[in-house]
Amino acid sequence: MNDALKATLVAALKSWIESANDPASDFPIQNLPFGIFSDAINAQPRAGVAIGDWIVDLSVLEDARLIDGHGTFNATRLNDFIALGQQTWRDVRIALSALLAQGNATLRDDADLRRRALVPRKDATMHLPVEIPGYTDFYSSREHATNVGSMFRDPKNALLPNWSELPVGYNGRASSVVVSGTKVRRPNGQIKLPNDERPVFSACRKLDIELETGFIVGKGNALGEPIPCEDAEAHIFGMVLLNDWSARDIQQWEYVPLGPFNSKGFATTISPWIITLDALEPFRTATPAQEPQPLAYLRHEGDHAFDIELEVTLRPEGAQRATTISRTNFRLMYWSMAQQLAHHTVGGCNTRVGDLMGSGTISGPTPDSCGSLLESTWNGQRPIELEEGGERAFLLDGDEITLRGWCQGEGYRVGFGECAGEILPARG
C-alpha cells in the first residue's frame, strides 16, 4: 500500500462520537492520546483516552474485557502501562479505534456501559500523566541558538563549535514538572544588575517562556548500553507540549560555568495528553539538512521530523482576548528526537520509563516565530503589543500563557490540546 492510499484511508476514518468528527477537534479517532484523569463521580485518578469532547475510561473497558491493559489502567500514572511495551500500546489503540469507529455497535449501543465508560472532558480533572524519574532539556533549534548567540556574543559566531556536532543538553529538575493548568509562582533568586558590584536577592524581573515539545521514554536502556540512533524511536512512547519557564535575569548570573539551576528548576509545564508516535506517523517529514554530517552514532536513514504546527498566546489578567505571540513548527528542529536519545545514552547513561526529554526552545526564522520572549523582544528592547492595549517585554504577574500544537490532516487534525499556566506573584 503506497503512502497516498494510507493517508486517504486514515483521513476517511470516522467515529460514532460526533464531536470527534469535527475538523477542528484536537482529538479525532486518528489521535487517541493517553492521559490520567479523575472526575466528580470517581475521584480516583485513572487512565483515559481523549476522543472529541469525551474521555474513554480505560479501566471500565478493561473490566468489560474489551481491551487488555494487564490491570494497569487503575494506576494514578501511565508508567506501568507504558512498561508493557510498544506492541501493547498499539494493541490497545487498535482495539479502541475499532470500538469507537462508525458502525461498531459494541459500545455505542450498550447504554449502561457507554454511561460508565465515557466521561465529558469538561467535567474531568487532568493529572500529570507519568511519574517522571528524570528530565533532560535540549537546545536543538538552530534558529533559537543563533538568536541567543547573536544577542549575547558575536553574531558572526553565534553558534559555539560543538552545536552543529551534537545535541547540546542539560539535566533538569524532574520534581518541578507540573501538568497544564497548574499556576506558576514567580521565582526569587540572585540577580546581578549592570552597575552593581555584587548581586541582589530579588524576584525575577525577566520571567520568560520556552515553547517546546517533549517526548516520554517508553523503553529504557541498561546502564552502559547505549541506544542506537536507528532504534531510538522504538524507545519513545509519545510526545507532549512543554513550557520550560525561564528566569532570564537569574540565569544570566548563575549559568557560568555549569549552566541553568534556580532559573529553570522552579517549574516546567507539560500538556496532559501524550500523543503516540503512531498517531503522528502520517505527519512524518524530513529534518533540516545537517552540515557537517553527524558522527556515525548520530546518523539515521529516512525522515525523523514531524509537521507539528505550534502557537503561543498570552492573556493578561482580566483581559477578554489573548494575543498570539508566536507561531512556528516542530519540523524546523535541527536535531531529531532519535538523535537526542542516542546522544543522551552514548556514554552509557541509562534511561527509564517515564523520563521526559525536552526539545529545547523551538523558534523559526522570523520575529513572530520565536519561541521565547527573550528572542521576540530582543531581551526586552522591542516589546510586543497586546490585543487589548499595553505591551510585554517579559511576563507580568497574572499573565496566562497557553501553548497549542497540532498536525493538520485532510479534514482532520491530530492535536495536543493545551499547555497552560498563569503567573503568581513571588513570595515576599
Element (H, E) at 88: helix 86-100
Domain that holds residue 217: 135-424
Is the domain of 361 the same as that of 255?
yes
Cell 516546567 belongs to which residue? 268
72-84 residue pLDDT tens: 999 999 999 999 9
Residue 139 labelled as part of a binding site:
yes
Q: Are 293 and 339 in contact (CB under 8 A)?
A: no
Three cell numbers written together for 195: 552597575
Amino acid at 226: P
CATH number at residue 49: 2.30.30.230
Q: pLDDT value at position 192?
A: 97
Label residue 378 left, alpha or beta by phi (over 0 means left) and psi (-120 to 50 means alpha).
left
Q: Which of 127, 154, 186 is the last residue of a domain?
A: 127
How many CB atoms are located within 10 Å of the residue 251 CB?
Answer: 21
Q: Are 324 and 199 in contact (CB under 8 A)?
A: no
Q: pLDDT value at position 169?
A: 97
CA–CA separation, 333 and 140 (whole Å): 6
Asked whether residue 119 carries a pLDDT value surpassing 80, the answer given is yes
Q: pLDDT value at position 248?
A: 98
Three cell numbers written together for 382: 522591542
- 4 pLDDT band (50/70/90 cuts)? low
Phi/psi of residue 243, nearest 5 degrees = -115, 110
Is the domain of 99 the same as that of 145?
no
Residue 268 labelled as part of a binding site:
yes
Q: pLDDT value at position 6?
A: 65
Q: pLDDT value at position 154?
A: 87
Residue 361 labelled as part of a binding site:
yes
Residue 251 labelled as part of a binding site:
yes
Q: pLDDT value at position 10?
A: 84
CATH number at residue 231: 3.90.850.10
386-409 residue pLDDT tens: 999 999 999 999 999 999 999 999
Residues 6 or more apart in contact with residue 355 via CB below 8 angstroms: 132, 133, 134, 135, 136, 216, 217, 220
Residue 244 labelled as part of a binding site:
yes
Q: pLDDT value at position 2?
A: 62
Phi/psi of residue 56, nearest 5 degrees = -90, 120
Is the domain of 253 the same as that of 202?
yes
Is the domain of 337 the same as that of 213?
yes
Is the domain of 155 the same as that of 7?
no
Cβ-in-10-Å burial (0-12, 13-18, 19+) of 65 comes to exposed
CA–CA separation, 404 and 327 (whole Å): 10
Asked whether residue 241 carries a pLDDT value surpassing 80, the answer given is yes
**What residue spans of 281-345 are helical by DSSP H?**
337-345
Q: pLDDT value at position 311?
A: 98
DSSP string, 160-186: -TTTTTS--EEE--GGGEEETT--EEP
Number of domains in the chain: 2
Summarize the confidence of residues 124-137 as an average pLDDT: 98
Annotated catalytic residues are 144
262-279 residue pLDDT tens: 999 999 999 999 999 999
Is the domain of 382 the same as that of 352?
yes
Q: pLDDT value at position 11?
A: 82
Q: pLDDT value at position 147?
A: 96
Q: What does pLDDT average to over the chain?
A: 97
Asked whether residue 69 carries a pLDDT value surpassing 90, the answer given is yes
